[in-house]
């Protein structure tokens, strides 16, 4: 969950702002000058909400609206088509998401939540607190691009722009454009559609641009970072299975896990999944070593039915199971690191027949679902991990990008990559959600303009078209509200 100090700071900050605002408005000597200062700077304050409005950027919007008129016509016409498709597609997507959510709610063991395209995000629950900065930056950038599209499209259709503004509600940042409503009502429905669809169109194109940036990132950073050599450790969780003197360290380059080659972060995750589902691999050990370390008669069953043959107090020895030609199952307590580091992996005794000295395949006798995994991160000694593979998977943070020079920061590519991924997710989500025919969203005005442009001949009475639009908006609003409510319940209650 969100750390208490963060909540205290946010609430304390807003309470301070509200009390200061109240005190200044109550002061007989300061009230007039304070309110004049707020008005002149376009600021307005209310509990947990601050808003700024300005006309400083009107000239910039005007210049952009006159840039290559033919291109802008094609651009916003394409946006209009996309907006109409998105309006219908968003309803289908929300309906599908709602059905998936209901199926997960009724399932005993809900699986496949990752298949949902849309998910409710709750900071501290399914959004790491450490990534809140990326989240809010992506929201702000997506909002700015969204409103920039509305502003330029409006000026291009000869609708006056009164100003541009930004706001913050609690910790949620946003932006808006102030259009002259009279002009907006005078233009044709098709022109209105170009304006109303421009926001979701720009969000979609920002999403596409972020995807392209992600794909091109290895080439853009090639002079400073290289990829394909392994997975670079950027963070190790304190007191995790990967920490410690023989564990992993920031700056280590993981190149192999057992016999699975690691060329990047994707390989790291796929190797762990592969090792989780495969039987535990064994190691070729000389027969002479086994005869000296054989623990016949000292093996015993654990509570889960697996066998143990080493002392519980031993931190370096591990129980291994093997078989020879005479006995089907034997056990030996061997020093884990010495046994594994110089040994080749195997599945059966036949895999060890290529050795010059007689060897047998010994397999670690571990508790159910746990694994012994040898992680190579040269030039350091191999890390030997014993435990659940998922614990290893999420105990470190990694990146594909290895710096060519020592002074280059390990986290820079990670920051760019993470921000781009948030832009893809949030800008894409804003494009979908804003296109929903729902009250107070762009979809409301898109639907109204669409009905006016297409149903004038079929439904001549404007009141009937408005009634049809009202019921569609009511259905869209209900669908969106149901998705949000059930999504919140799924995230917080399950």
Q: What confidence tens digit (pLDDT) does each residue in 254-301 have? A: 999 988 999 999 999 999 999 999 999 999 988 887 877 655 447 788
Rounded to whole angstroms, the Cα distance separating 365 from 69 reads 73
Q: Answer yes or no: do 356 and 447 share one domain.
A: no
Q: Which of 278, 272, 242, 267 is nearest to 395 (CA)?
A: 242
Give the pLDDT score at 338. 87
Look at residue 226 and tell me whether its pLDDT is greater than 90: yes
Query: Does 200 map to a domain?
Result: yes
Instruction: Note whether 127 and 185 are same-domain residues.
Output: yes
The three state secondary structure string of 265-295 is: HHHHHHHHHHHHHCCCCEEEEEHHHHHHHEC
| Domain boundary pick from 367, 386, 405 | 386
Do residue 68 and residue 36 come from a single domain? no
For the chain, give the mean pLDDT.
Answer: 89
CA dihedral 136, 137, 141, 147 (to 10 degrees): 30
Stretch among 56-65, 336-345, 419-428 having the lowest mean pLDDT: 336-345
Q: Dig out the tokens for 289 from the structure.
A: 């070593």
Q: What percent of the chain has pLDDT over 70?
A: 95
Number of domains in the chain: 3
> Which of 252, 140, 153 is closest to 201 using CA atoms?
153
pLDDT greater than 70 at residue 209: yes
Is there a domain that residue 241 lies in?
A: no
pLDDT of residue 491 exceeding 90: no
For 240, half-sphere exposure in the C-beta direction (CA atoms, 13 angstrom radius) is 18
Portion of the chain with pLDDT greater than 90, in percent? 61
- Distance (Å, whole) CA 378 – CA 67: 55
Query: In which residue are the tokens 């699986």 written?
Result: 111
Between strands 43-46 and 49-54, the pairing is antiparallel
Residues 156-193 have pLDDT tens digits of 999 999 999 999 998 889 999 999 999 999 999 999 99
What is the b/e burial string over 367-384, where b = at least 16 CB atoms within 10 angstroms of the residue's CB?
eeebbbbbbbbeeeebbb
Q: Dihedrals φ, ψ of 188, to 5°?
A: -75, 160
Pair of tokens at residue 5: 């100090």
- The CA distance from 399 to 184, in Å, is 49
Residues 179 and 304 in one domain: no
- What residue spans of 228-377 are helical by DSSP H? 265-277, 287-293, 336-341
Residue 146 resides in a domain: yes
Provide the pLDDT for residue 332. 86
For 127, which DSSP code?
A: B
Query: Distances in Å between the alpha carbon of 317 and those of 175, 306, 311, 312?
Result: 62, 17, 8, 10
Could you tell me if residue 237 is inside a domain? no
d(CA 315, CA 298): 18
Q: Active-site residues: which are they? A: 147
Residues 106 and 191 in one domain: yes
Neighbours of 10 (CB within 10 A): 14
292-321 average pLDDT score: 75
Q: For residues 487 and 35, give the distance between their C-alpha atoms in angstroms, rounded to a whole number.
A: 42
On whether both 84 and 139 belong to a single domain, the answer is: yes
- The C-alpha angle with vertex 205 and arms to 202 and 209, in degrees rounded to 5, equals 135
Would you say residue 197 lies in a domain?
Answer: yes
Residue 210 CB-density burial (10 A; 0-12 exposed, 13-18 middle, 19+ buried): buried
Give the full edge-to-edge strand order of the sheet including 396-399: 253-254, 231-236, 396-399
- In the numeric block, the tokens 């000239």 are attached to 59
Indicate whether 449 pLDDT > 80.
yes
Question: How high is the pLDDT of residue 171?
Answer: 86
Q: Is the pLDDT of residue 312 over 70?
A: no
Q: 281 in a domain, yes or no? A: yes
If asked whether residues 283 and 326 sit together in one domain, one would say yes
Residue 8 token pair? 């205290």
150: pLDDT strictly greater than 90: yes
Most confident of 152-156, 244-248, 327-331: 152-156
Q: What is the model's pLDDT at position 296?
A: 47
The reply to whether 74 and 41 lie within a common domain is: no
The span from the CA of 373 to the CA of 281, in Å, is 9
Report how far residue 451's alpha carbon sits from residue 446's, in angstroms, rounded to the nearest whole number: 9
Kindly tell me if the per-residue pLDDT of 113 is higher than 50: no
Query: Cα separation of 466 and 444, whole Å?
Result: 11
21 and 82 belong to one structural domain: no
pLDDT given at position 397: 92
63 with 204, same domain?
yes
| 182 within some domain | yes
Indicate if 34 and 121 belong to the same structural domain: no
In 3D space, the residue among 387, 341, 343 whose CA is nearest the CA of residue 361 turns out to be 343
DSSP letter (8 states) at residue 29 = T
Rounded CA gap, 38 and 302, in Å? 73
Nearest alpha carbon to residue 233 among 264, 258, 274, 270? 264
Residue 476: domain span: 59-219+416-493
Residue at 52 is within a domain: no
| Mean predicted confidence (pLDDT) in 130-153 | 94
Q: How far apart are CA 58 and CA 339, in angstroms?
A: 73
CA–CA distance, 484 with 270 (Å, rounded to integer): 33
Whether residue 211 sits in one domain with residue 65: yes
Least confident of 14-28, 106-120, 220-234, 371-385: 106-120
The whole-number pLDDT of residue 302 equals 80
Task: Note whether 129 and 6 are within 8 A (CB).
Answer: yes
- Kindly report the pTM of this predicted structure: 0.85
């Amino acid at each position: 969950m969100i750390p208490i100090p963060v909540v205290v700071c946010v609430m304390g900050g807003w309470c301070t702002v509200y009390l200061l605002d109240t005190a200044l408005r109550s002061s007989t000597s300061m009230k007039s000058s304070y309110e004049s200062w707020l008005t002149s700077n376009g600021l307005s304050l209310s509990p947990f909400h601050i808003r700024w409005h300005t006309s400083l950027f009107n000239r910039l919007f005007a210049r952009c609206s006159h840039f290559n008129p033919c291109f802008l016509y094609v651009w916003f016409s394409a946006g209009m088509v996309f907006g109409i498709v998105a309006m219908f597609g968003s309803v289908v997507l929300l309906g599908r998401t709602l059905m998936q959510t209901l199926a997960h709610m009724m399932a005993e063991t809900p699986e496949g939540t990752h298949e949902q395209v849309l998910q409710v995000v709750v900071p501290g629950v399914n959004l790491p607190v450490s990534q809140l900065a990326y989240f809010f930056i992506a929201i702000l950038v997506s909002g700015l691009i969204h409103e920039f599209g509305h502003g330029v499209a409006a000026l291009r259709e000869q609708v006056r722009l009164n100003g541009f503004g930004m706001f913050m509600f609690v910790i949620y940042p946003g932006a808006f454009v102030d259009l002259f409503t009279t002009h907006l009502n005078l233009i044709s429905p098709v022109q209105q559609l170009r304006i109303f669809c421009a926001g979701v169109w720009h969000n979609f194109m920002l999403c596409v641009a972020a995807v392209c940036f992600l794909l091109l990132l290895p080439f853009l950073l090639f002079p400073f970072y290289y990829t394909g050599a392994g997975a670079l450790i950027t963070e190790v969780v304190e007191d995790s299975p990967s920490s410690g003197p023989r564990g992993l360290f920031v700056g280590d380059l993981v190149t192999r896990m057992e016999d699975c080659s690691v060329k990047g972060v994707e390989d790291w995750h796929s190797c762990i999944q592969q090792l989780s589902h495969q039987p535990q691999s064994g190691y070729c050990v000389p027969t002479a070593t086994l005869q000296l370390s054989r623990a016949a008669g000292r093996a015993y069953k654990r509570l889960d039915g697996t066998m143990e043959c080493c002392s519980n107090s031993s931190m370096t020895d591990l129980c291994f199971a093997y078989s020879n030609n005479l006995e089907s199952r034997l056990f030996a307590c061997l020093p884990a690191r010495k046994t594994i580091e110089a040994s080749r992996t195997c599945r059966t005794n036949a895999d060890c027949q290529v050795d010059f000295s007689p060897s047998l395949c010994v397999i670690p006798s571990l508790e159910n679902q746990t694994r012994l995994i040898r992680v190579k991160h040269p030039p350091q000694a191999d890390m030997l991990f014993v435990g659940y593979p998922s614990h290893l998977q999420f105990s470190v943070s990694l990146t594909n990008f290895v710096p060519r020079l020592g002074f280059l920061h390990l986290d820079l590519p990670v920051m760019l990559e993470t921000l781009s991924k948030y832009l893809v997710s949030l800008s894409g989500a804003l494009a979908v959600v804003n296109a929903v025919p729902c009250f107070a969203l762009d979809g409301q005005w898109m639907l109204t303009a669409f009905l006016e442009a297409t149903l004038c001949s079929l439904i001549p009475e404007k009141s009937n078209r408005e009634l049809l639009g009202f019921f569609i908006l009511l259905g869209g609003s209900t669908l969106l509200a149901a998705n949000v409510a059930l999504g919140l319940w799924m995230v917080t209650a399950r």
